[in-house]
């Protein structure tokens, strides 16, 4: 969801050895990457599906690093026509990775243009698609929060599909410790556990809390993240023990006050929170907590 920024980039693992968790995905990728390297060919196209902040961009850039090839990065939301796509294809080199984030946002016309590019490494251009141009063999990596929104033929052209899962607390705790280390902070084991429990199974959230606790600790003149520091910092920023935030509470209050099933649009209007955050961050969490339900008539308290 394009929320990657320089803050998280310094903490982003660059190769598979520093990617923690998601073993099922990473192990399978290692095998296919080794095979591609042995054959000297491009890795087959991959689709990564998962909630925001679970590591789609991280894994995609690490794939290029593991393959030892260059990567071009585009966002489906910015490619409004084939014209916007062309510069990437013109710069494509043999075995390179073409990463398209939020790939479900590509217009159908662009999806259709990509079919022969992906399948036969050929693009059909000209007013009647009468000119066919050969492309270097490349690897398309698509990242999406909604694999279900890709058209079937497009979905089918990705040979490998990977579904990223929420992270367990043990793995998150390791990610938290690694991130604290990268930020030159000491961290107590119980403080790492504390942060991991507030992280909603999501590395990006974990890293955000680590960074806030670092700021808080330094302000108190300490280079160590202790359990007490984490507790205090989280109270100040409204992150509860189970990871609920001010936004979750705003949402719950709005739904309670509304008093009947509410649609997504209504909730956006009532809370002033953007649609994607409600749909992909707040609601999945509240559903896991058993606090709300999505019904055909709208969202309700449960």
Interacting residues with ligand ATP (CB under 6 A): 1-4, 8, 11-13, 19-22, 50, 52-58, 143, 145, 175, 203-204, 207
Quick one: 1 or 286, whose CB is closer to ligand ATP? 1
CB of 78 to ligand ATP, least distance (A): 14
Residue 204 interacts with which of ligand ATP, Mg ion, none, CB < 5 to 8 Å by class: ligand ATP
* Annotated catalytic residue, options 12, 101, 214, 245: 101
159 catalytically annotated: no
Query: Beta-carbon neighbour count of residue 14 at 10 Å?
Result: 13
What contacts 124, CB < 8 A, 6 or more positions away? 113, 116, 130, 131, 132, 133
Which entry of Mg ion, ligand ATP, none binds 95, CB below 5 to 8 A by partner kind?
A: none
CB of 148 to ligand ATP, least distance (A): 15
Q: CB of residue 107 vs ligand ATP: minimum separation in angstroms? A: 20
Q: Is the dihedral of CA 98, 103, 106, 109 positive or negative?
A: positive
The site partner of 199 among Mg ion, ligand ATP, none (C-beta below 5 to 8 Å per kind) is none
- 145 catalytic? Reply is yes
Toward ligand ATP, which CB reaches closer, 3 or 293?
Answer: 3
Nearer to ligand ATP, 104 or 204 (CB): 204
Residue 187, strand partner residues? 225
Catalytic residue flag (residue 293): no
What is the closest distance, in whole angstroms, from the C-beta atom of residue 231 to ligand ATP in the complex? 23
Active site includes 61? no
Q: With respect to Mg ion, which residue has the nearer C-beta, 16 or 115?
A: 16
Q: Minimal CA–CA distance to 136: which of 70, 92, 88, 91?
A: 92
Provide the 10 A C-beta neighbour count for residue 91: 12
Can you tell me whether residue 291 is helix, strand or coil? coil
- 240 DSSP assignment: -
Point out the catalytic residue in the list 58, 61, 144, 145: 145
Q: How far is the CB of 273 from ligand ATP (least distance, A)?
A: 16
105 is catalytic: no
Binding residues (CB under 5 A) for Mg ion: these are 56-57
How near is the Cβ of 100 to ligand ATP at its closest, in Å?
12
If DSSP codes are grouped into helix, strand and coil, which group holds residue 165?
coil
Q: Which is nearer to ligand ATP, 132 or 163 (CB)?
A: 163
Name which of 175 and 213 has its Cβ closer to ligand ATP: 175
Candidate list 157, 204, 214, 299, residue with the active-site label: 204
Cβ(190)–Cβ(227) under 8 Å?
A: yes
Residues 100/141, Cβ–Cβ less than 8 Å: yes
Q: Where are the alpha helices (DSSP H) in the chain?
A: 6-9, 23-39, 56-67, 82-90, 108-120, 152-156, 169-182, 189-197, 203-219, 227-237, 246-258, 264-271, 275-276, 283-288
CA distance 302 to 183: 41
**Per the residue annotation, which of 56, 105, 200, 299 is the catalytic one?**
56
- Three-class secondary structure of residue 189 per DSSP: helix
Name the residues annotated as catalytic. Answer: 56-57, 101, 145, 204
């Amino acid at each position: 969801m394009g929320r990657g920024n320089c803050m998280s980039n310094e903490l982003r693992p660059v190769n598979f050895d520093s990617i923690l968790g998601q073993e099922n995905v990473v192990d399978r990728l290692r095998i296919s990457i080794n095979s591609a390297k042995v054959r000297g060919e491009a890795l087959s196209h991959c689709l990564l599906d998962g909630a925001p902040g679970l590591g789609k961009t991280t894994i995609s850039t690490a794939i290029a690093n593991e393959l030892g090839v260059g990567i071009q990065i585009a966002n489906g939301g910015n490619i409004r026509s084939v014209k916007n796509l062309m510069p990437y294809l013109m710069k494509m080199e043999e075995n390179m990775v073409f990463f398209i984030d939020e790939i479900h946002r590509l217009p159908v016309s662009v999806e259709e243009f990509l079919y022969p590019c992906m399948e036969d490494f050929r693009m059909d251009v000209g007013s009647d698609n009468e000119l066919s141009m050969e492309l270097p063999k490349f690897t398309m990596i698509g990242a999406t929060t909604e694999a279900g929104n890709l058209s079937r033929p497009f979905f089918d052209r990705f040979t490998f599909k990977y579904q990223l899962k929420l992270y367990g607390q043990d793995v998150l705790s390791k990610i938290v410790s690694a991130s604290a280390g990268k930020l030159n902070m000491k961290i107590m084991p119980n403080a790492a556990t504390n942060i991991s429990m507030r992280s909603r199974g999501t590395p990006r959230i974990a890293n955000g809390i680590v960074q806030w606790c670092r700021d808080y600790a330094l302000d108190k003149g300490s280079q160590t993240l202790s359990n007490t520091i984490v507790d205090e910092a989280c109270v100040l920023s409204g992150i509860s023990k189970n990871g609920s935030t001010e936004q979750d509470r705003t949402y719950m209050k709005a739904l309670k006050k509304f008093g009947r099933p509410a649609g997504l649009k209504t909730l956006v209007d009532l809370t002033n929170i953007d649609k994607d955050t409600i749909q992909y961050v707040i609601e999945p969490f509240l559903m896991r907590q058993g606090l709300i339900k999505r019904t055909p008539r709208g969202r309700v308290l449960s």
